Structures are given as structure tokens and as C-alpha cells.
Chains A and B, each alone.
Chain A
Amino acid sequence: MESVICPPAANLSIAEGYVGLIFLLTVGITIFGAFIATTSKSLIRCVAALALCFTGVAGIYYFLLSPFVAMMQMLIYVGAVSILIAFAIMLAEPEDQSGSSSNGSVLAGPFGASIGALIFAALSILGVKTQWQSFPKQGSGDIEQIGKALLTSHTMVFELISIVLLIAIIGALVLARKGRN
């Protein structure tokens, strides 16, 4: 099977070249945000970089032909989860961890970096070298079909996720309220 996954581009038009540039910018934003979010010392800077990274991921979803999921990513991750983490940082006010480098955690940085590099190398080699087989598409995957699939073939999961969210809300309230005087 020839690689329909990555068609060769002999002659790109100008518009496609601009699209490619915007894609590279999106990927750059994502990777830069992820890098800052995992390596910065200041936690509030980490959260800001996480929001930046999620914005880049939303752009990647847009390039993957699903603007609805991109919008949901902006709403849920950038709008809700990042703000929630920022609230937690302001409520818990963690001190900067510059002076608290005790023994036992000295190896954590290089250990984690080597594990991350190994995982990245293995997964990307696996993803690039494999001969993926694609199948003919059935339908376009727009928002109408997502809604129909959510309410017909995935109804059980849809109901279960609402129960999970309800339990999570109640559990969060109970946990945060318990030690309060």
C-alpha cells in the first residue's frame, strides 16, 4: 500500500505554503508552551505556559479538520482547567522551590529527562516507521454527525460521563470543605 498518509508535494501553491507556515507556528507554540510548563520554576508561569500549549493544541485540532473539538479545547482547557489551576496556586500559595533541594530528589531531573527522551524516541520512531493502512471514509465527521453518534451509539457513555462529572463536583466540594473550621 502506498503511503496515502503523507502525499508528496511537488508543487505547493502560495496558499498552501502559508497554511504550512501557520501549521509550523502552531506546532512551535505547542512545543514551547509544553517546554516552559514542565521546566519553569514559578508555578504561575507554568500555568500560563500550559494555557499557551493548549491554545496550540487547539490549532492542531483545527488542522485535523475538527473545528468543534478545537473550540471545545479552547473552552474547557484554556478557559476552565487553566483558570482552575491558577486558582489553586493562588489559594495554596506554594513557596518557590529554590532552596529546598534535599537529597533523594537530585536524581529526579536527569532520570525523568532520560525516561522522557526514551519514550519520545520510541513513540516517534514507531509512529513514523509503521506502514499505516487507511480505510475509506464514511461520512464527513462534522458536528451534526458527532451529535447523532453521541445520542445514538454512545448514549451509555454519554450518560456515564455526566454521572462522573456530578460525582466529581460533589467529591470536590466534600474534600475542600472537610477541614474547614
Chain B
Amino acid sequence: MTILNLYNCLGTYLVIAALLFAFGIYGLVARKTIIGMLIASELVLAGSSVNFMAFNRFLAPDPTIGQIFTLFIMAIAAAEAAIAISIVIAVYRNFKSIDTEDLVDLQG
């Protein structure tokens, strides 16, 4: 296995997916703004999609099922991004900030 043949290996795609997932988890923990955490969660979803597509290409008997999974993940991610962004705008209107350390008030 040379370095130019990496695109035929399942392990390459699994390592890329793990790297995307790990970047997403790091961003979710370390980010201080809601939008930064949203970007990190998109990275987590991209990592899981790459995993599905890799297993679909190399292992699955029916090669449509992983693609359908990925398409549904895209739809869920689009819905999640829309909801999260409207929440961000509502939060910014009330708090004048989207820093997670300023959002410490509960209603009650």
C-alpha cells in the first residue's frame, strides 16, 4: 500500500471521519459562542456522514442505503441549522450577546 493508493482503502476514510468528529467535539467543548458550537456540530455530522459513505462504498451489500442515510443526515442538519440560527437571533435580541457565559439567566 503506497500513499497514492490510499483512496482505495477503507481505513483512510475512517481516519478522516474520526478526525472530523474529533475536531467537532473539540469545538463543542472549547468554543465560547453559540455559532462556534453550531459550526462544530456541523463538523460532527460531516464526520458521521463520511463514515456512513465509507461503509456504504466498501462493505454494504446494498450500495444505496448509506447514500440515503447521508441524504437524511443532510436534511436533519439543514433543519437543525435553521432552528439553531433562529434561536441565536432570539437570544441576541434579548441578551445583546451570544457568548455562552452571558447566557446564565433562567426565566422564573
Contact = CB atoms under 8 A, between A and B. Distances in A.
Contact of A76 (B13, B24, B39, B74): B74
Contacts of A50: 39, 42-43
Contact of A146 (B59, B61, B68, B83): B68
Contacts, number: 284
Nearest to A20: B4
B27 A37 contact: yes
Interface string A125-151: 001100011111111110001100110
Interface size class of B (residues with CB under 8 A): 35 or more
A115 B57 contact: no
Interface of B: 1-33, 35-36, 38-40, 42-43, 46, 49-50, 53-54, 56-65, 67-68, 70-72, 74-83, 85-90, 92-94, 97-99, 101
Interface of A: 5-9, 12, 16-17, 19-21, 23-24, 27, 30-31, 34-35, 37-38, 43, 46-47, 50, 53-54, 57, 60-61, 63-66, 68-69, 72-73, 76-77, 80-81, 84-85, 87-89, 91-92, 94-95, 97, 100, 102, 104-105, 108-109, 111-113, 115-117, 119-120, 123-124, 127-128, 132-141, 145-146, 149-150, 154, 157, 161, 164-165, 168-169, 171-173, 175-176, 178-180
